[in-house]
Chain A
Amino acid sequence: MAGLAATLGSGAMTNSIGEIEFNEVLFTIGSNAPEAHPIIGNKMKAAAQRGAKLIVVDPRRTELADNAHLWLRLKPGTDNALVNGLLYLIIGNGWHDKAYIDERCEGYDDLWKVVQEYPPERVAQITGVPVEQIHAAAELYARTPKAGIFYTLGITEHTTGTANVMNLANLAMVTGHIGVENAGVNPLRGQNNVQGSCDMGALPNSLPGYPSVNDPEARARFSEAYGVLMPEKMGLRIPEMLDMAVYGKLKAMFVMGEDPALTDADANHVRKALGSLDFLVAQNLFMTETAKYADVFLPAACYAEKDGTFTNTERRVQRVRKAVEPPGECRADWEIIADLSCRLGHEMHYESAEEIFDEMRTLVPSYAGITYERIDKVGLQWPCPDVEHPGTKFLHAAGFTRGKGLLQGIEYEAPAELCSDEYPILLSTGRMLYHYNIMTRHSANLESLRPHELAQINPADAQRLDLGEGDTVRVSSRRGSITTRVTVTDVVPPGVVFMTFHYKESPVNELTNAAFDPVTKTAEFKVCAVRIEKAPESELVSAAPAV
């Protein structure tokens, strides 16, 4: 969320899920909510059925695209050029909100300097979206007061992800669409508690509540609370951890609840890194691909076996409750951490998850007013600075968290990896409805609906490669090669295949590109160049029956 934090001073969804139904325009870019965020998807579709106008920017003809008033089928990875084109038209036609810009933003000249190089004809050429559609989208978005932007991994999982997000913030600021109800810039976060784990400081550059590790005042506060001097040096981000492991500089890793060997880009490199470590600990429910490399495996309780809180994509802190005992010797992650910490010589003693929460909220001002008692039934949205505060439905009402909103011109950069004769097809990856990362593969119920990968391929490509529904193909990139079944569908445009990352039998991250966004170090999951060949069914890696 570095993009939003830099421009507005806060990296969270500015508005709330409940507002979606009352938006007049929903501008979605790189987000297929009906698959990735189903209940938000329902609200968007219901809003469209009621007459709200949906502008969908997506190379795929997704379910949302089918419900759209305007569907902009851009070429994968050209989002920034499109947004610049929209800004060009909005400013050029005087649809921007001058008073708002003067009062609340800075950097307008810098923005215009870049944007003026993006007339619609050029943008149409880069993105493949016709000029009239760009024009219609710009006018509709800019001239409707209740217009919100929604985006998800689609726009952040590019090498230019941070820039993409800043450009969306430009779009919203220029039109005065932030700090008001039914509008805003709204990242829809993928995993259930991404927002919370960022808020809690599970980040190499910031402490809980987002003060930088370089901030001496904040470090002093935490040093005093923990009775230990806080480290100053910026920590490693995941890709750096992996690189350092390969170089032999990183010796040990402790991995709680994640499976980078399956979910991170360029799986070969990840495995090499894990294999280079002297010592690896995995704390998880299942023997994941990563855990197989571990020296010690610590069995954890699942969410139904412990107490705690999650913070959802609209900053709402909600309760998780223990319903049953964990199986065998499994223990809640927090109990394991506290126990281990004592053995490391840093004493931690908690009777309950609530005690941890109460310690945390004395250190994180935006959570200070949230208590288990207050969120017993209905969660509260941060910032919630004191116990009388009702929580915050939408951000930046009175002004931006960082003071003035920062407008920054963002040049379009082509995706890091382009197609070639050898790798002529673009592979795009994402989520689907029936599975969540990989964990749900352990549910026989969900597995019954979609037991294996089905790569989407356009009929034109299928015909050229002599492929029919359900046929097997070998997909190869510059980094690896996997097999999968295909489904032939015009959901994807010619020249593009789409796969999910839920299946270890078709581990798509063998193929993806670990070229990183320079700021967040998020890999370019979305776009990589591949070659597709028909393969005999015998080459499919068979799934172990789910349960």
Chain B
Amino acid sequence: MVELTIDGRAVSVAPGTSILEAAASVGVDIPALCYDKTLTTFGACRLCSVEIEGRANLAAACSTPVADGLVVLTESDTVVDARRTVLDLLLSDHPQDCLICEKAGDCLLQEYCYRYGVEHTSFVKGATKNFELDDDNHLIQRDQNKCILCGKCVRVCHEVQATNAVDFAGRGFESTVTTSFDHPLNKDFCRFCGQCVDLCPTGALVNKQLKGTRTWERQKVRTTCPFCGVGCNFDLNVHEGKVVGVTANYDAPVNAGSLCVKGRFHTDLIDSPDRITTPLIKRDGVFEPASWDEALDLVASRLLEIKQSDGPDAIAVLSSARCTNEENYLLQRLTRAGLNTNSIDHCART
């Protein structure tokens, strides 16, 4: 183990740990825009700069490994000054429309400006970016004017989604994150998993499903995806009694925050107008609405009649690999104990 001191606290961590992770392990939060614990380290934003006693230059905490005896200061005056400068620079070409930005309340740039008291940029009227909004698809909106080039989307798309839909292009002020040939995001190269949106610290990438609701207004309910056998976990986002979308859950055991397009963007089907919302009984070939009592009494009496006249094996039950364990269990109980037959099966036995 390596022993060091962070903000006066003794810390002991495994060799190879970064200063940022070591600090996190004792509850010291070092701000960072381009760092994410699930991705490779990029060391680009410089916001995580810290002071190390005896060294002339500030060090990037995300990419500097711990060493025995280091004395680290994470919020010294020098450090705070440096962070203010970084934020000031980022703001200089960032659209300042926080009042109506979808990301407000959930934006790291906003949070850190607040934390370090950076009210506005001190660079008067520099050049501003002027990218066209990519709003071509139904699911994800891209506003490169709000991109701070942290590269999280590029890395997650490559390292976790193994897809490579987006990458850096250009240099200096011209540099940007874009798709091949600058095409709008589309399914020829993007899987619409939405994980880049999840990791984007600013409003550059927006989940269009969640537009119109604020992050603090949404309750989150953790659940398991119903669309394939992988069993990803995610949080359903509920607003005024409706499911408005999905956000990732990074401590999920199977998927650790990753989702595919179905898990991420399916929730409009919950409110589909195609849902049937009342029991129906067919009379003269036409379905007519009925009460639960009418419908269930009819089902019970017809099944009992048939069981009486033709025996229990004249009745069969199909259960569903989409329903819960509890429901499958209960339906087999009904079939075996209530109808006295073993004729229960489901469509996807394979």
Contacts and interface: CB of A to CB of B under 8 A. Distances in A.
Contacts of B14: none
Contacts of B280: 296-297, 299
Interface string B303-327: 1101000101111111111111111
Contacts of A1: 349-350
A341 B338 contact: yes
B179 interface: no
B229 A333 contact: no
B303 A313 contact: no
B26 interface: no
A258 B320 contact: yes
Contacts of B175: none
A237 B344 CA distance: 7
Interface footprint category on B:
35 or more
B171 interface: no
A228 B344 CA distance: 17
Interface in B123-138: 137-138
Secondary structure of the B side of the interface? mixed
A294 B282 contact: yes
Contact of B276 (A153, A205, A284): A284
A433 B191 contact: yes
Contact of B295 (A41, A244, A279, A296): A296
A324 B337 contact: no
Determine which residue in B255, B279, B323, B341 has the highest number of CB atoms from chain A within 10 A of its CB, and name it.
B323
B278 A328 contact: yes
A213 B337 CA distance: 13
Interface in B22-60: none
Interface string A18-44: 100000000000000000111111100
B225 interface: yes
Nearest to B278: A329
A252 B306 contact: yes
Given A226-B337, A321-B223, A344-B300, A445 B328 contact: no
Contact of A304 (B161, B162, B232, B243): B243
A522 interface: yes
A436 interface: yes
Nearest to B138: A448
A345 B268 CA distance: 39
A254 B315 contact: yes
Given A39-B230, A45-B162, A235-B345, A302 B270 contact: yes
Nearest to A343: B300
Contacts of B187: 434, 449-450
B337 A296 contact: no
B259 A39 contact: yes
Given A191-B321, A333-B327, A345-B338, A249 B269 contact: no
Contact of A436 (B160, B161, B227): B227
Given A195-B229, A231-B342, A311 B325 contact: yes
B329 A329 contact: no
A345 B298 CA distance: 14
B231 interface: yes
A540 interface: no
A257 interface: yes
A45 B193 CA distance: 15
B206 to A, nearest CB: 14
B292 A329 contact: yes
Interface of B: 137-139, 159-162, 187, 191-193, 209, 219, 221-233, 236, 238, 241-243, 251, 253-255, 258-262, 265-282, 287, 290, 292, 295-300, 302-304, 306, 310, 312-350
26 contacts: A1-B349, A156-B350, A197-B320, A200-B325, A203-B345, A208-B329, A236-B316, A251-B314, A256-B320, A260-B318, A264-B347, A281-B299, A295-B281, A295-B298, A296-B295, A299-B275, A303-B226, A334-B330, A433-B191, A433-B260, A433-B261, A445-B209, A445-B266, A446-B266, A446-B269, A449-B192
The 8 closest A-B pairs by CB, nearest first: A328-B277, A312-B231, A308-B324, A235-B342, A257-B320, A38-B260, A45-B162, A313-B229
Given A323-B219, A328-B275, A377-B251, 18 more contacts: A38-B260, A192-B228, A195-B229, A202-B331, A203-B344, A203-B349, A252-B316, A256-B317, A257-B320, A258-B320, A297-B276, A302-B269, A311-B325, A319-B222, A341-B334, A344-B339, A377-B222, A445-B138
